[in-house]
């Protein structure tokens, strides 16, 4: 497995922490390597020992959020295969994505935070792996194969509907809460019920659920390794 710079270097780790703090405070636009180096208490040239360009550093920072997110999902699913069920997994992914600001920014297209990195070629590759569309076309075939969702609906239409649903939930969680916005005490329960209403009842037995979880773990590990490869590019 690809080794990350911060695993072998406390200096690289400090640079990443400093960059994260600056980006979350003010976004990408106008941020310079000199500012990052000053906050990390290193020379400007030291940053370039680990990252060839500022964009490489920023992309690496964003991709690490996805990597941590993936590793958390892998560990959770490995510990409890029943989490692969749609009415459990969809609320969990939506809730967990909010915890990672760069995952949330890339999923929702937050150009204020991402700046030019939103169109960076490796950012596009990352979204091709883990963006909303990629996620739909990854999980839905597994669920369909193992009788966890209805199959009397064309995959493209089902993917479109589920993506729209998740986008709406993410917007409700991350958007400004105006006085007119409806709120509920248990949004996860509401989301779970909505997923079931959209995708149909889960007919899989225990063996099929375990098989779906195993396939899900394989796919998640593939995505994790692909993100590591993008970081190392």
Buried b (16+ CB within 10 A) or exposed e, 65-75: bbbebbeebbe
- For 178-187, write each residue's pLDDT tens digit: 555 677 788 8
Q: If you average pLDDT over each of 48-62, 121-135, 157-171, which comes out highest?
A: 48-62
Domain ranges of the chain: 1-52, 65-232
Rounded to an integer, what distance in angstroms lies between the CA atom of residue 210 and that of residue 83? Answer: 10
What predicted TM-score, i.e. pTM, was given to this entire model? 0.85
Residue 118's pLDDT is what?
A: 76
Alpha carbon distance 71, 69 (integer Å): 6
4: alpha, beta or left? (left if phi > 0; alpha if psi -120 to 50): beta
User: What is the average pLDDT score of the chain?
Assistant: 88
Joined tokens for residue 56: 């490489």
CATH homologous superfamily of 1-52 equals Homeodomain-like (1.10.10.60)
Contact 136, 233 (CB under 8 A): no
Over the stretch 100-140, which tens digit does the pLDDT of each residue have? 888 888 777 777 777 777 777 888 888 888 888 888 899 99
Q: Is the pLDDT of residue 16 over 90?
A: yes
């Amino acid at each position: 497995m690809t080794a990350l710079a911060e695993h072998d270097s406390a200096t690289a780790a400090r640079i990443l922490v400093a960059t994260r703090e600056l980006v979350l405070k003010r976004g990408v636009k106008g941020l310079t390597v000199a500012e990052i180096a000053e906050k990390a208490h290193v020379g400007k040239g030291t940053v370039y020992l680990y990252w060839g360009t500022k964009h490489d550093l920023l992309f690496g920072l964003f991709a690490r959020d996805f990597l941590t997110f993936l590793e958390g999902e892998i560990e959770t699913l490995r510990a409890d295969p029943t989490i692969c069920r749609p009415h459990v997994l969809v609320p969990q992914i939506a809730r967990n994505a909010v915890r990672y600001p760069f995952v949330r920014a890339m999923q929702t297209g937050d150009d204020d935070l991402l700046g030019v990195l939103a169109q960076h070629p490796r950012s596009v590759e990352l979204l091709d792996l883990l963006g909303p569309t990629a996620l739909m076309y990854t999980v839905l075939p597994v669920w369909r194969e193992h009788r966890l969702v209805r199959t009397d609906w064309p995959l493209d239409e089902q993917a479109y509907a589920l993506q729209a649903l998740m986008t709406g939930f993410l917007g409700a969680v991350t958007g400004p809460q105006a006085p007119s916005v409806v709120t509920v005490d248990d949004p996860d329960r509401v989301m779970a019920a909505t997923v079931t209403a959209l995708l149909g009842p889960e007919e899989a037995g225990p063996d099929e659920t375990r098989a779906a979880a195993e396939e899900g773990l394989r796919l998640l590990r593939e995505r994790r390794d692909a993100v590591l490869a993008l970081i190392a590019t």
